[in-house]
Amino acid sequence: PAITNHMPTAELQALDSAHHMHPFTTGDELTAKGARVITRANGVYLTDSEGVEILDGMAGLWCVNIGYGRDELAEVAARQMRELPYYNTFFQTTHVPAIALANKIAELAPGDLNHVFFASGGSEANDTNIRMVRTYWAAKGKPDKNILISRHNAYHGSSIGSGSLGGMSGMHAQGGLPIPDIHHINQPDWWAEGGDMTPEEFGLARARELEQAILDLGEDRVAAFIAEPVQGAGGVIVAPDSYWPEIQRICDKYEILLIVDEVICGFGRTGNWFGSQTLNIRPDIMTIAKGLSSGYQPIGGSVVSDEVAKTIDGLEFNHGYTYSGHPVASAVALENLRILEEEGIVDRVREETAPYLAEKWHGLADHPLVGETQIVGMMASLALTPDKASRAKFASDAGTVGLICRERCFANNLIMRHVGDRMVISPPLVLSLAEVDVLIERARRALDECH
Ligand code: PLP
């Protein structure tokens, strides 16, 4: 019989664990408990197979920026599938959806980031970036300038290349990562690692690790530095104000290409179109994905400066994906950008929703378990701690309290993620003020229940 939404949950769960391998999940966990089966969604709410509504505080995986259930995107996808479901952009062919989307991204992107190389997601786009910056410097007569510097606890994807760029030790422990010529410096996480320094001192010290790495490795060996404007999957870690200006100064001084991974921060998440604008960063390359299509279709890309594009266009870049600039994904992304723009969603985030959410989020700091609260736009985190004053960690295995808190959120019909003992949210940008209240109320109840 066909497997449908109408089957009993337990049966669906059994079939799921029998044949479906889940990312970042242990099979034992699934067999023991079963995954919660999500059957439909609308606005900021998911519905599970038991008919329970869950407030999605994570916008899926940080991606459903315009919220669920927008018919316009379904209609555009159906129209495009009928007209031209697929054609490639290799070997001197192109098509209108890719042309239109590249032009729209160039219009929205800051500075002279006017050129887009498409991929199906963030991992692929960061793989492109690794090859592109090395090819760029080789074309400039500097083939040894091929080291990319990244940060511990960064997340840039799961492929061999992008996983190597990322700084997740759990990922590096499996499958032969990192590849050669990737170097990691420390992250600007003041709460966890700032010791006695003020946030400003610490931000400078961590940024200057980039300068030290460049000096140690050799200026003529370092191709690029990559970072997320706000580390997302690492726990929504907002760098102290002193950090980014110093990083920018160092990249400029040593002629290091600056790759800003906007996969989470892009398309309104921080209250501007790009996190680079919110934090005043001038990238040479931006990685984009997720909010580009609000997750309705898998699409990502590398947005590069005139200078990088001119150099790469001057040779044959032997790189590309079957689905680079996929017409259906491109058409859906373009419609998503139209909605974000015409409905003023990014402006509303900046002027109304994010300030309101910030006030409520920081209000959770009076909870006995909550240490630091951080928020930029519509991405926020809080550190769980047994002692706020000393910024202590729990004695239990790192992440146990976070896991309990996540499960209490789940039980209270709120999706909030945990990264160790840090709780994070990244809700759809269309969250209303009333829905902010619901989110905060459920988060507080969950915190009470794990106290
Ligand atoms: N870069 C960042 C900053 C991300 O957060 C992610 C995914 O979470 C990626 C890259 C990888 O993107 P994808 O999962 O689309 O390959």
- C-alpha–C-alpha distance, residues 155 and 267, integer Å: 18
- CB distance 60 to ligand 1 below 6 Å: no
- Mapped onto helix, strand or coil, the DSSP state of residue 423 is strand
CATH 3.90.1150.10 maps onto the chain at 36-69+344-449
Kindly compute the dihedral angle of the four CA atoms of residues 292, 296, 297, 302, in this order, to the nearest 10 degrees: 10
Cα–Cα nearest to 340, from 66, 75, 77, 97: 66
Domain with CATH 3.40.640.10 in the chain: 73-342
Q: Ligand 1: distance of its center to the CA of 376 in Å? A: 18
CB contact burial 380-408 (16+ within 10 A = b; e otherwise): bbbbbbeeeeebebbeeeebebbebbbeb
Crossing angle for the helix pair 327-342 and 96-108, nearest 10 degrees?
Answer: 40
Q: How far is the CA of 177 from the centre of ligand 1 (A)?
A: 17
**Does the C-beta of 234 come closer than 6 Å to ligand 1?**
no
Query: The pTM is what?
Result: 0.98
CA 40 / ligand 1 centre spacing (Å): 24
Quote the ligand 1 centre to 264 CA distance (angstroms): 7
Ligand 1 centroid vs 198 CA: distance in angstroms?
Answer: 31
Given this model, what pLDDT does residue 395 score? 84
Query: How many Å separate Cα 136 from the centre of its chain?
Result: 25
CA of 166 to the centre of ligand 1 (A): 10
Q: Which residues, 6 or more positions from 362, have their beta carbon under 8 angstroms from its beta carbon?
A: 373, 375
**Closest protein CA for atom 7 of ligand 1:** 157
115 lines ligand 1 (CB under 6 A): no
Q: How far is the CA of 405 from the centre of ligand 1 (A)?
A: 24
Q: What is the distance in angstroms between the CA of the first residue and the CA of the last residue of the chain? A: 46
Distance, in Å, from the CA atom of 401 to the CA atom of 427, rounded to the nearest integer, reads 22
Q: Which pLDDT does position 224 carry in this prediction? A: 98
DSSP string, 371-393: EEEEEETTEEEEEE-S-TTTTPP
Q: Which atom of ligand 1 lies at the shortest distance from residue 61's CA?
A: 8
Residue to substitute in 165, 264, 321 for testing ligand 1 pocket (most ligand atoms within 8 angstroms of CB): 264
Q: How far is ligand 1, taken at its centre, from the CA of residue 416, in Å?
A: 18
pLDDT of residue 355: 98
Residue nearest to atom 1 of ligand 1 (CA): 156
Homologous superfamily of the 36-69+344-449 domain (CATH) = Aspartate Aminotransferase, domain 1 (3.90.1150.10)
Looking at residue 128, what is its pLDDT?
Answer: 98
Tell me, in angstroms, the distance from the centre of ligand 1 to residue 22's CA: 16
Residue pair 168/155 in contact (Cβ under 8 Å)? The answer is yes
Among candidate residues 164, 153, 169, the one with its CA nearest the CA of residue 235: 153
- Helix spans in 91-189 (H): 96-108, 122-139, 160-165, 169-172
Q: Is the CB of 155 under 6 A from ligand 1?
A: yes
Asked if 424 contacts 236 with a C-beta cutoff of 8 angstroms, the reply is yes
Query: Ligand 1 pocket test: which of 290, 292, 297 has the largest number of ligand atoms within 8 Å of its C-beta?
Result: 290
Q: Does the beta carbon of 264 sit less than 6 angstroms from any atom of ligand 1?
A: yes
How far is 345 from 339, CA to CA, in rounded Å? 8
Q: Is 295 in the pocket of ligand 1 (CB under 6 A)?
A: no
Atom of ligand 1 at shortest distance to CA of 262? 3
Provide the residue-wise pLDDT of the chain in tens; the chain has 451 residues. Answer: 899 999 999 999 999 999 999 999 887 877 788 899 999 999 999 999 999 999 999 999 999 999 999 999 999 999 999 999 999 999 999 999 999 999 999 999 999 999 999 999 999 999 999 999 999 999 999 999 999 999 999 999 999 999 999 999 999 999 999 999 999 999 999 999 999 999 999 999 999 999 999 999 999 999 999 999 999 999 999 999 999 999 999 999 999 999 999 999 999 999 999 999 999 999 999 999 999 999 999 999 999 999 999 999 999 999 999 999 999 999 999 999 999 999 999 999 999 999 999 999 999 999 999 999 999 999 999 999 999 999 999 987 778 899 999 999 999 999 999 999 999 999 999 999 999 999 999 999 999 999 6
What HEC string does 51-89 produce? CCEEEECCHHHHCCCCCECCHHHHHHHHHHHHHCCCCCC
CATH number 3.40.640.10 is the correct assignment for the domain at 73-342: yes
